[in-house]
């Protein structure tokens, strides 16, 4: 049985401290990098929709209040800027929606 931090703290009557996580993000459509062959897709890697799903899942299941985003796999400043723009246009709006 899995508990979020919210549930675990509530179960023992303890206030929950804000939870934050560093999250590595890489958009293969921008960097051109493929996932390692024969392995499961790394969390935070591939399409904007997959990255958004990963972030939402971590926020919900781990009870995260905030995330620090680190952009990986970019070969130059142009790719980094495209990754940041992609994140703000396609991932952030999806992740910031409340259910």
- pTM for the model stands at 0.77
- Summarised one tens digit per residue, pLDDT across range 76-89 is 999 999 999 999 99
- The confidence score (pLDDT) of residue 50 equals 93
Residue 10: which domain range? 5-96
- Asked if residue 99 has pLDDT above 70, the reply is no
pLDDT tens per residue across span 15-38:
877 778 888 999 998 999 887 788
Give the neighbor-by-neighbor strand order of the sheet with 45-46: 45-46, 20-27, 66-71
Rounded-to-integer distance, Cα 75 and Cα 55, Å: 24
Work out how many domains the chain is built from and give that number. 1
């Amino acid at each position: 049985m899995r508990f979020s931090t919210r549930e675990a703290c509530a179960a023992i009557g303890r206030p929950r401290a804000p939870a934050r996580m560093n999250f590595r993000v890489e958009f293969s459509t921008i960097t051109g990098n493929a996932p390692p062959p024969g392995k499961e897709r790394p969390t935070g890697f591939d399409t904007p929709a997959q990255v958004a799903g990963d972030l939402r899942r971590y926020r919900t299941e781990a009870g995260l209040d905030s995330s620090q985003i680190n952009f990986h796999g970019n070969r130059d400043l142009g790719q980094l800027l495209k990754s940041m723009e992609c994140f703000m246009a396609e991932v952030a709006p999806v992740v910031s929606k409340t259910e």
